[in-house]
Amino acid sequence: MAGVVRHGSQVSYIGQDCREIPEFLGRNYGHVAKRLDLSFNLLRSLEGLEMFGGLEELILDNNLLGNDLRLPRLPGLHTLMLNKNQITELESLLGHLVEVTPSLEYLSLLGNSACPNELVCKDKDEGDYQRYRYFVLNKLSNLKFLDSRKVSQNEREEAVLRGAFMKVVKPPDPKPSSDGASISPERHYTPLPAGSRDLTNHRGVLGKCRYVYYGKHSEGNRFIRDDQL
- Residue range 12-25: average pLDDT? 96
Phi-psi region of 175 (alpha: psi -120 to 50; beta: other; left: phi over 0): beta
Q: How far apart are CA 87 and CA 112, in angstroms?
A: 5
Q: How far apart are CA 123 and CA 27, in angstroms?
A: 45
Domains of the chain, earliest start first = 5-165 (3.80.10.10)
pLDDT score for 71: 97
- Residue range 99-124: average pLDDT? 87
Work out the pLDDT band at 163, boundaries 50, 70, 90: low
Cβ atoms within 10 A of the Cβ of 7, count? 8
- Residue range 121-131: average pLDDT? 78
Cα–Cα distances (Å) from 45 to 22, 71, 136, 207, in that order, read 12, 9, 23, 57
Least confident of 77-91, 125-139, 181-195: 181-195
Q: How far apart are CA 221 and CA 226, in angstroms?
A: 14
Q: Which residue, 120, 51, 47, 56, is CA-closest to 87?
A: 120
Kindly tell me if the per-residue pLDDT of 105 is higher than 90.
Answer: yes
Contact 20, 41 (CB under 8 A): no
What residues contact residue 161 under an 8 Å CB cut-off, 6+ apart? none
pLDDT score for 119: 63
Work out the pLDDT band at 225, boundaries 50, 70, 90: very low
- Per the confidence metrics, is the pTM higher than 0.95? no
- What mean pLDDT, rounded, does the chain reach? 79
Work out the pLDDT band at 1, boundaries 50, 70, 90: low
pLDDT score for 217: 46
Kindly tell me if the per-residue pLDDT of 47 is higher than 90.
Answer: yes
Q: How far apart are CA 38 and CA 71, in angstroms?
A: 14
pLDDT score for 220: 41
Work out the pLDDT band at 206, boundaries 50, 70, 90: very low
Contact 98, 77 (CB under 8 A): no
Least confident of 58-62, 151-155, 176-180, 183-187: 183-187
Work out the pLDDT band at 166, boundaries 50, 70, 90: low
Cα–Cα distances (Å) from 162 to 81, 95, 118, 153, 155, in that order, read 26, 18, 22, 14, 10
